Amino acid sequence: MNFQQLRIIRETARRGFNLTAVGNALFTSQSGVSKHIKDLEDEIGIELFVRRGKRLLGLTEPGREVLTMVERMLIDAANIKRLAEQYASIDAGQLTVATTHTQARYILPPVVTAFKRDYPKVHLKLHQGSPAEIAQLLVDGEADIGVATEALACAPELATFPYYTWRHAVIVPVGHPLADKKPLTLADVAEYPIITYQEGFTGRPHIDEAFAVAGVEPEIVMSALDADVIKAYVALGIGIGIVASMAFDLVRDKDIALLESDRLFPESVSRIAVRRGQYLRGFAYRFIELCSPELTEEHIAASLTADLGAGI
């Protein structure tokens, strides 16, 4: 048994049992992947995969149990490397933070500035993606820390922590009739074409929920991944916008106005997530603490050492 065999077992499950894709991911041939799987099965005396001819269709029952063990073994192997790096060089290395555009653009800049001041030798990699992509990057060990609103709390492999709460707000071009409408209602908003986030991004389910509860059907004419795009098209008069309130900048956004609309939409919670069982270097804990002083190393470490299958 060797680490390449373990990586192949894990990657085979991740790649939908497509051995060509596994070979490409691990820079080896399909025949080499098949041989490693067969050698491991012969060594341990059980079949790990359900087969139809030469095709793999899924995991056998013992294969599912072995995969859980393989995941833990590979996490621990990576942890040993991180532990060695921590003691070899305390203030140098790489930290990968996976997050959405909204978090990277409007929330994290002060945190990143403080972190780079404290750790100038650490290469900080900001990886932007959808909430689902962020969760998967953490589960796969390709990111150290995740910051997003949706998806993170749904993955049992992740320990998640509340970061901050926020609400959506309505934005309109300067001089728009809604600017004088007080109190503003969702029925008022629904009288105009709406531009807002794509499904699954930046609390979009809360927007849909608010309209559904009010019994109002909005006309969403455009959707986008980030607030900057939404604001640009609102300024052009394509429609009114619904964005995260922190995405509005009074100085920069001179062509649009933010309406008082906090009570129209339910509260959203952005969360910080890390992979259960993963060893985090000291500067990773510091990054999280810069986000939220309540999230100390002791608090985070206690959750990371919990059973991988435990909930948060």
Give the CATH number, domain containing residue 110. Answer: 3.40.190.10
Q: Is residue 78 part of a domain?
A: no
Confidence of residue 312 (pLDDT cuts 50, 70, 90): very low
Q: Is residue 61 part of a domain?
A: yes
CA dist 222 → 26, 150, 195, 292 (Å)? 40, 21, 5, 34
Is 305's pLDDT higher than 80?
no
Same domain for 150 and 190? no
Q: Is residue 311 part of a domain?
A: no
Name the one residue in this structure whose structure tokens are 């909430």: 131
Same domain for 173 and 247? yes
Interatomic CA distance for residues 193 and 207, integer angstroms = 15
Q: Is residue 80 part of a domain?
A: no
Same domain for 229 and 286? no
Domain around 61: 3-73
Least confident among 39-48, 131-140, 288-297:
39-48
Same domain for 220 and 102? no
Is 158's pLDDT higher than 60?
yes
Same domain for 154 and 111? yes
> At 44, is the secondary structure helix, strand, or coil?
helix
pLDDT for res 10? 87
Same domain for 279 and 198? no
Highest mean pLDDT among 86-90, 110-114, 260-264: 110-114
Tokens of 243: 């964005």
> At 2, is the secondary structure helix, strand, or coil?
coil
At 248, which amino acid appears? F
pLDDT for res 306? 56
CA dist 205 → 75, 178, 199, 202, 286 (Å)? 33, 24, 7, 9, 32
pLDDT for res 309? 43
Q: Taking residues 282-303, what's their average pLDDT?
A: 92
Helix (H) or strand (E) holding 61: helix 61-88
Q: Are 168 and 243 in contact (CB under 8 A)?
A: yes
pLDDT for res 310? 43
Q: Is residue 310 part of a domain?
A: no
Q: Which residues contact 100 (CB under 8 A, 6 or more apart)?
A: 128, 129, 130, 131, 134, 147, 148, 149, 201, 202, 226
Q: Is residue 312 part of a domain?
A: no
Same domain for 152 and 284? yes
Report how many domains make up the chain: 3
Q: Is residue 137 part of a domain?
A: yes
Interatomic CA distance for residues 257 and 181, integer angstroms = 13
Q: Taking residues 2-14, what's their average pLDDT?
A: 87
Same domain for 150 and 298? yes
- Cis status of the peptide bond prior to 156, with omega within 30 of 0: no
Is 146's pLDDT higher than 90?
yes
Handedness of CA 44, 40, 73, 13 (dihedral sign): negative
Same domain for 69 and 210? no
Among candidates 260, 237, 240, 258, which has minimal Cα distance to 249?
258
At 151, which amino acid appears? A
Q: Taking residues 140-165, what's their average pLDDT?
A: 91
Same domain for 250 and 197? yes
Same domain for 235 and 260? yes
Relative to beta strand 145-148, strand 93-99 is parallel
pLDDT digits (tens, 9 = 90+) for 52-104: 888 888 899 988 888 888 888 888 888 777 777 766 677 888 999 999 998 99
The gap between the terminal CA atoms of the chain, to the nearest Å, is 33
Could you give the percent of the chain with pLDDT greater than 90? 52
Q: Is residue 82 part of a domain?
A: no
Angular region, 307: left φ>0, alpha ψ -120 to 50, beta rest: beta
Same domain for 13 and 67? yes
pLDDT for res 36? 86
